[in-house]
Structures are given as C-alpha cells and as structure tokens.
Structure 1
Amino acid sequence: MTNKYTVNIILLSFFLIISSSCSEKKKEIKLKKEKTKVGSVYAMLPFENNLPKINKTEEKRLQNTIQEFYKKVYIPNNFSGSMLVAKNGHIIYESYRGMSNFEEKKPITAETPIHIASLSKVLTATAIMLLIDSKQIKLDQKVNTILDDLPYEDVTVRTLLNHRSGIRNYSYFTDKSSEWSKRDTLRNSDLIPFINKFNVNLEFKTNSRFSYCNTNYALLALIIEKVTKMDYRTAMKELIFEPLDMKNTFVFDLKKDSKTASHSYKGNKIRYAYNYLDDIYGDKNIYSTPRDILKFDMATYSPSFLNKELLSEIFKGYSYESKGTRNYGLGIRLFEWEDGKKMFYHNGWWHGNTSAYIKLKDEKATLICLSNKYTRCTYRLKLLSSLFGNYPFEIKSREESLE
C-alpha cells in the first residue's frame, strides 16, 4: 500500500515537473513570437492573417465597382503606377500599368518599387515608435538630449512626429545659393550644422500650432541612426522591411540607385532630373510596392505591435487650433467627422511621384495608390472608402481630392 502510494506520488511529481517545463517552454516560444529584437530595439512582426475573406459575391461586386472607377478616373489620365485594394489583408483588386522607365520601356509590375514620397513618413514614424516601445527613447523627450547640437530647447520627439515643432522646412532655408550650393548634395547630417551656422530660427513657438514640415522627419531619421547605431537604410531594413518580408522595399541611395530605380516623370512624360535634395531621407526616399505596403499595414494590427497606450497616441489628432475635419497624429493624417467616424491616411508628392495610403481601421480595409508620372488622380483613392464603411465620399464625385 505504502509502495503504491509512494509510486503514485513520484509519478504525479514527475508529471507536474514535465507539465511545468512544457508550460514554460510554451510561454518562452510565445514570448519570442510576440517580440523580436534587433540589438536592443523591437522589430516588427508579420500579422498572422487568420482574418476571413469576404464572400465571392461581395468580392465580385467590389471588383466590378473598383474596375469601373479605375476606368473612369485613372485610364483617362494616362496613369502610370500601381493600385491595390484589400480587406482583412486579402487583396480584392490590384492594377499595374505604365512604365518605370519610359525611355527603356520597362513596364510597372507588382514587383516594381516606386518612390512613395511622403508616405515614407509613416514608416519613419513607425521606427521611432519601436524605439519608444523598446524604452530607448521617450515620446516627450527633448530632441537636443539625443541630437546634442540641435539648438531648439523645447522641440520633443512628439512635436517632430506631429509637425508641431516650429522648425522650418530645409528646402526653404537651404535655398539661398550664397549659403548652400545646389551643386552639392544636401544630406541629413548637414542639417543641424547648417541650422547652427546660419542661425535658422524657429518659424513659430514649439507646440503652438501645426505646420507640415519635412525637416521634422529628416531629424527623426537622425534619431534612428543615433539610437540604433545603424545608418537609416540599414535600420529600416532590419526593423521593418526584412521582418515583414517587404522584398521590394528599400531606402534610395542617390549614388547607388539613381540609374536603376524607377524614374519620375512630369505629366507629359518628361523625366525629372535629380537635384540636390534627392539624398535626404526620413521624410521621403523610400521605394516600395502596394503589396509590400499591405504587409506593413497588416502588421500594425498584430497584438505584438507596440503597447496599447503607445498605439493610441498614434491615432489621435493633436492640432485643434482651427475647426475642420482634418488633423494629424503621429506620422498619420486623419479625417475626423462630427459623428465620431475617423479615417487615417497619408499622401505623398515628390517630383512626379504621387502616393496615397488609406487605412480604414474599423473595417480593416487598405487602399494604396502609387504613381511615378505626375497626376492628382492618385489622391482620388479616398472615394473608394465609401465601399467599406460610412465615409462621406461619393465615387461619382470625380473632382474630390486629398491635399
């Protein structure tokens, strides 16, 4: 009897040890799955897409409507670029037309990276939020505690992200030939020395109002470099592009990529020449595809992407000095309507490249349009939001546009 009792106790103890060990291993595997670090910084993780597809009837209806919209809006404008619409991460519609290089007749395909212009800000802001989530910097930390020589005392990481810093646009304060020769390529590392040398004052008191400014994001790129101890191109690759399998996304390097990257054109197909501002990054200079951007968009729904409090800081407006429906969060634009409905988006324009990215959070719908030949029809993409939710846009209203 005693022997049986002893044996049972031993077996039970053994079972509990094994069970506990398995449980700990599962927790460890889960933790690894939830958070992956590059050095001391969390990297993004892909969203495991278990969200349902829409039914075939609804999918066909949407495809027909979008195709008709595309024929009426994009084809008459001789659109050159790419467009994608997805729901729950599943592609409903995509189209690729035009040339990445008209001179050599290289067609745009699903794998052709196009300059996404200021849509790059969304990705730069994301890298900064990863640094904050990893406790490497703080959202309200003063920037001059990171970038030592920045002369502006009250500028914080947050005010760079939401364009309330008051810093002037680098394309304006470097425009005088007596101060910067346009024969010399301007780089991110030149900005703070230039500001100090020529005593470039703030345009307005920090955090007193909103003013969209590319310098903010060029400085955020410098913060990424300082904190990660990697150049911006490498940091973006390791923190975002590679983990999300964004194979056709890269940060442009003027010396290495000027001959091979997709070119930029005026509306009459005359090619834009590169200029002295074409090597600044953070605010622009990311090339990507709609499929890669969709991977990024879905990854922001992953439970492991940022803590909830930090995530909520991104998707709220910070500028209410004047009444209106438009606002800006942290690296994302907002429409806010009186009924409480919100739409998140970001547009871009650089040389002949225009871009539009729309994130319908409530419906988990993603709309992306990229063009390398100048056209404003890229921005009409917002009209398609009414197919997915109660958004106040009419597809028939062809004159609507996002600024």
Structure 2
Amino acid sequence: MKMSILKKTNILQILTLSIVLGSCGQQKTKIEKNEAAIIEDTLPKMKPADPEAKVSQAYLNSVTGRINHFYNKNWPNDKMNGSFLVAKNGQIIFERYNGYADKNEGTTINENTPLHIASVSKVLTATAVLKLVNAGKLDLDQKVNTILKTFPYPECTVRMLLSHRSGMRNYAYFTDRDKSVWDRHNQLTNKDILEILATKNIGLESTTGTRFAYCNTNYVMLALIIEKITGLTYKEAMTEMIFKPLGMTHTFVFDYEKDRKTIVPSYKGNNVEIGLDYMDAVYGDKNIFSTPRDLLKFDRARNRPDFLKPDLLKQVYTGYSNERKGTKNYGLGIRMINWDSGQNFYFHNGWWHGYTSSYIPLMNENVTIIALSNKFTRNTYAVRKLAPIFGDYPFNFKDEE
C-alpha cells in the first residue's frame, strides 16, 4: 500500500516537473521570438523608390538605337551568357537575356535568373553598414577592434575598411600557400579569416591608413561587423535590411551548404564549367546572387533623398585614394572616376570564378546600367561605353577598340 502511494507521488512529481519544464520551454521560445522581433523592428531598412517621371517616347527613340548598336557589337548572342539592363528613372528602357544558365541541364538565362554578382556585392555590404551608421548604431571612425575584439590592427576604422585603406592583405593570398595558416581541404569562413588574422601573425601590406589597396579582406570584416551590430547572420541582416523591404525576390546570399547544388554555375570562355573552391563560403566581399531587375530596385532605393543623411551621403561619394594623382578613386563602397573638369563617374565591377558584373549609376541622369555574366568575359565591363549616350562623360575609348 505504501509502495503504491509512493509510486503515485513520484508520478505526480514527474508530471508536475514536465509541465513546469514544458512551460519554461514555451516561455523561452516566446522570449527568443520576441527578441528576434525586437531586433528586426530596430533594424534600419531600405525604402523602395517613390514613383518617378515616366520616360517620353521621344527620349526612348533618341537612345534605344544606340544602346542596341552597342549591345550587338559588344555582347553578340553567340558568345555571351548573361543579363543586360538599362533604365531611366527606374523604367527599363532596354534589356536582354541570352545564353545558358546551366549548360548540362539546358536551361537558359531570363529576367528571373539569379547570377553571382561578385564584387558588386561590396556595394550592398557597404549599404548595410552605411544604414547602421546612419541609424547611430555604428560610427564611421570607430576602431574595428571595439566591435570585433580579436581584430589585431588597432588603428583600423570602419571607414578604412569601406575605403580599402586598412593595409590588410588579401585572404586569398595568405590562405592559399601555407598549410600552417589554412588547409585548403577545409571550407574557409569569415570567422576563420578573423581567427587567422588574430593568431597567425599575418602582417600588413602597408601601414594602416597610409594608402589605398583594394582588398577583399576589408569587406569580409565588414560582414562580421554587420553580424555583431545586428545580432543576425549576414544573410539574415541583408535579407531584412535590403532584400525583403525592396522586394528583391530573386536575390540571396549564397549559402555554401544549402545552395551549392542549385545555383547557376559559371564557365570559362571555352564553356568549361568552373567548380567551387575553399573560399566559396566567404561573404561580404562577394557571394550575393541577384538579377538586373532586383539590382535596379536597389539602385533606385539608394537614389531616394532620405537614403542617408546629407553629410553621410557626401562622404560616400568622396574619393579616399588621393595619394597618387589620377582620375581613378574609391569612396565608401563605390568606385569612381573624377576628371579635372569636375565630372564624376561612379561604378563597381566584379569578377569571381567565371562570373563578371558591372553596376553603373549615372546619378545626374537618373540612368542605371547593369550587366551580369556567368561565362567569363571582360566585355561585361565595356558597358561604361554607354555613359556618353546619356551625359557628358569624357571617356577616351579609342585605346579599348
């Protein structure tokens, strides 16, 4: 009889404990969901462009023939794989899609085919960082080691990462040759790169802040800063801050584990497919897939008057590589050409494996030019030749013919 009472008591205690633990679990889940909602609600998000003036038929008649001539000359259908778009006031005035997305499967590229945008990803990474600065969650001149505690270069600031003035070496070089630094049989990540910098005595190429040197490592660190400030993964932060608010439904950050078998592959110029390698899990400097139509939405959102506060926006388009006299320069996440006449040309190109990309915002003319390719060619970068159709851009293309 006593044993029976004891057993019942134990059962009751177990049931009570289960209920309590279950309740705690549910409460914890609710707290986690609430915390995620709070993080998302406090994120500075891009706003879609407002309606813009409709382009007149007379304007279309004056430019489309010249664009078509350029396209037929530089992007012949029998040689090119890719996506090409020109827009005015956010209105598409010319676009073409040709070639195969996946040669083995026989699929072709269309307006909804996401291609790897390579270093044009830097413009999007910089935009997320700038929105965090604009919201007061980050400071341009904040030391990186106040955010990433193990970052080993004490004088480096967020601004220096954005403008490629950190003096750091490219991770592709210091992880490529020495197995004591990294075994290429293992997939490299952003956190791995930070750990290598912190523990492997990777020297600087130049003293921090003394000169411009384009370096992917800068944007790898910026992606980690985005994660640290937002409390989200880079993929989540980019989705919540940029892709989702702008309706960029065919844009995503490449996830090596989940996406590597489904992405559009890239090819050499002779149509041989290029496989992935040990650096394909690194993001921030690259690894965003998108379409010209999605990138157009992004471009027009950057053109909004309230994209950034005026003083911050001015700093974005200020050149920071002035130690040598010349026209080429780099701002905060954007390349530029500054002529002595006062004209300025802003752009960013990209190249990763066989993917090449070019993004050109002709800001004074409200014209956007975007070209993406998954078959290696330098012709992608030739789209800058379109700029003089729309404005006074004193390029000399004779040497490029």
- Aligned pairs for 1:28-43 within 5 A: 38-43=40-45
Give the deviation of 1:313 after TM superposition: 0.8
From 372, 382, 385, the counterpart of 2:384: 382
- Counterpart of 2:369 in 1: which secondary structure? strand
State the distance in 2 between where 1:163 and 1:67 align: 36
Letter in 1 for 2:278: Y
Structure 2 counterpart of 1:132:
133
Letter in 1 for 2:118: A
What's the % identity of the aligned pairs?
50
From 333, 336, 343, the counterpart of 2:338: 336
State the distance in 2 between where 1:100 and 1:392 align: 36
State the distance in 1 between where 2:299 and 2:80 align: 24
- Counterpart of 2:96 in 1: which secondary structure? strand
RMSD: 1.5
- Aligned pairs for 1:4-403 within 5 A: 38-49=40-51, 51-75=52-76, 78-175=79-176, 176-393=178-395, 397=398, 399=400
Give the deviation of 1:333 after TM superposition: 0.3
Give the deviation of 1:182 after TM superposition: 0.9
Structure 2 counterpart of 1:12:
none
State the distance in 2 between where 1:93 and 1:336 align: 27
Contact 1:299-1:305 at 8 Å conserved across structures: yes
Deviates more, 1:216-225 or 1:37-46: 37-46
Give the deviation of 1:54 after TM superposition: 2.7
Give the deviation of 1:353 after TM superposition: 0.4
Q: Which runs of 5+ in 1 are unaligned?
A: 1-36
Compute the TM-score of the two structures, normalised by the length of structure 1: 0.88
Give the deviation of 1:211 after TM superposition: 0.2
State the distance in 2 between where 1:155 and 1:287 align: 30
Contact 2:77-2:99 at 8 Å conserved across structures: no
Give the deviation of 1:69 after TM superposition: 1.1
Give the deviation of 1:42 after TM superposition: 1.1
State the distance in 2 between where 1:330 and 1:113 align: 26
- Counterpart of 1:242 in 2: which secondary structure? helix
- Counterpart of 1:256 in 2: which secondary structure? helix
**For residues 261 and 64 of structure 1, do their structure 2 counterparts lie closer, same or farther at Cα, with a shift above 3 Å needed?**
same
Give the deviation of 1:202 after TM superposition: 1.3
State the distance in 2 between where 1:363 and 1:398 align: 26
**For residues 310 and 38 of structure 1, do their structure 2 counterparts lie closer, same or farther at Cα, with a shift above 3 Å needed?**
farther
State the distance in 1 between where 2:289 and 2:391 align: 30
Letter in 1 for 2:207: K
Q: What is the aligned length?
A: 363
State the distance in 2 between where 1:162 and 1:266 align: 31
- Counterpart of 1:42 in 2: which secondary structure? coil
State the distance in 2 between where 1:257 and 1:325 align: 40
Letter in 2 for 1:312: K
Letter in 2 for 1:57: A
Partner deviation per Cα, 1:174-198 (whole Å, 9 max, x = no partner): 1123321111000001012111221
> Normalized per residue, which structure has more helix?
2
State the distance in 2 between where 1:154 and 1:137 align: 17
Large movers: runs of 4+ above 6 Å = none
- Counterpart of 2:258 in 1: which secondary structure? helix
State the distance in 2 between where 1:387 and 1:91 align: 16
State the distance in 1 between where 2:86 and 2:184 align: 40
Give the deviation of 1:394 after TM superposition: 6.4
Contact 2:77-2:98 at 8 Å conserved across structures: no
Compute the TM-score of the two structures, normalised by the length of structure 2: 0.88
State the distance in 1 between where 2:219 and 2:159 align: 11
